[in-house]
Amino acid sequence: MEQDTIVQNRVAELIPSCLIPKNIIQNLNMIKMYFGISGTEKSGFWDAIKSIQSNDIKASFPQNTPHIVWDAANSEFRQALLELAAFTELPNDVSYSEIEIDDFKPKLDDSLKLFSTTFPELYKVFKEICPFIILGRFPGYGGGTVSTRIGMIWLSPSIDWKVSHWAENIIHEFIHNCLFLEDLVNNIFPFNSIEMENLDSHAISAIRQVKRPYDKSYHSAFVAYGLVEFYLRIFNFTKARKILNPLFICVDDLASNTKYISANGVKLLDELIEGIIEQNNFLETV
């Protein structure tokens, strides 16, 4: 009971401003404004982002979001799927069988409920930013996002994914989308690909725990922070600790070399540091 109270008290707010719902909405509104889209329709952001990044997709903003594209390979999302997975050809068995889909559906539904329970306000924003979850099997991969396909999340699930695993993957990809948005509106990474591939810019990634280009490791740090928060909120403290320790190493590396990010990028990183220190302090009390 004591523990319940502590957890309830700590869920007040995420610290990095790029993950705070009202700031994300402000980013959405800026994009709508830039593209001359007025009004408060939830479809406005998708219409705007589609016009610059996903002209090949005709689908309008779905009535119920996220809309699940179960067979992306045989739909207008085929090209997007290839880009999200960073492949030039689709694997032969990219489409899931009906038996697999029947297994996935209830778990996916439950995972969305879990997301909405653990992060109620953020979930509302998720429904607006990520109207499409597209599925396609790429053996060995779990899913992904790409900076030129904001609004879409690719998942490559397997039968052994539990509800929390589905939720973790969706939250993971959603955080990438929040960072793309922040970078789009408020600039985080001002340099081009050649500069970012420079070895000096590499930093230890929080998820893979290997040196990666700065922007990838930076993304991984915010994703890991979000996942720690998710596991804290579902009382899986062991899992939270397992993600948090490598995250400290990653963020220490990022903070020691901030010349590859903008002033806004440094501000967000400072907020993230505050956030993970708070998570660590909290974990020491449970």
Partner 1 sequence: MGTNKKEIDSLGKSAIISAEIAADSIRKYQELHTSSGRLNVNVRMALADLADKEVSNAIDATAKAAINNLERYLKAKK
Residue 154 contacts residue 145 (beta carbons within 8 Å): yes
Neighbouring residues of 158: CB distance < 8 A, sequence distance ≥ 6? none
Q: Which residues bind to partner 1, rule: CB under 8 A?
A: 30-31, 33-34, 52, 83-86, 139-148, 156, 158, 165, 169, 172-173, 176, 180, 183-187, 189-193, 196, 207-209, 215-216, 219, 242, 244-246, 248-249, 251-252, 255, 270, 273-274, 276-277, 280
**Least distance from partner 1 to the Cβ atom of residue 91, Å:** 13
**Closest listed residue to residue 229, CA positions, set 5, 15, 6:** 15
> Using CA atoms, how far apart are residues 203 and 144, in angstroms rounded to an integer?
20
> What is the C-alpha separation between 137 and 93, in angstroms, rounded?
7
**Shortest Å distance, C-beta 230 to partner 1:** 13
- Cβ proximity to partner 1: between 14 and 269 the closer is 269
Give the Å distances, CA to CA, from 47 to 43, 77, 78, 122, 141.
Answer: 6, 16, 19, 21, 29
In sequence order, the 6+-apart residues with CB closer than 8 A to the CB of 63 are none
How far apart (Å, rounded) are the C-alpha atoms in residues 264 and 269? Answer: 9
Q: Which is nearer to partner 1, 10 or 216 (CB)?
A: 216
Report how far residue 210's alpha carbon sits from residue 18's, in angstroms, rounded to the nearest whole number.
25
Return all residues near 264 (Cβ < 8 A) that are at least 6 apart: 182, 186, 187, 188
Q: Which residue lies nearer to partner 1 by CB, 119 or 180? A: 180
Q: What is the smallest separation between the CB atom of 275 and partner 1, expressed in angstroms?
A: 11
Nearer to partner 1, 127 or 216 (CB): 216
Least gap, CB of 189 to partner 1 (angstroms): 8
Q: Residue 83 CB, nearest distance to partner 1 (Å)?
A: 8
CA triplet 175, 82, 176: central angle to 5 degrees?
10
Q: Please state the closest distance from residue 168 (CB atom) to partner 1, in A.
A: 8
Q: Least distance from C-beta 99 to partner 1, angstroms? A: 20
Quick one: which H or E segment has residue 234?
Answer: none
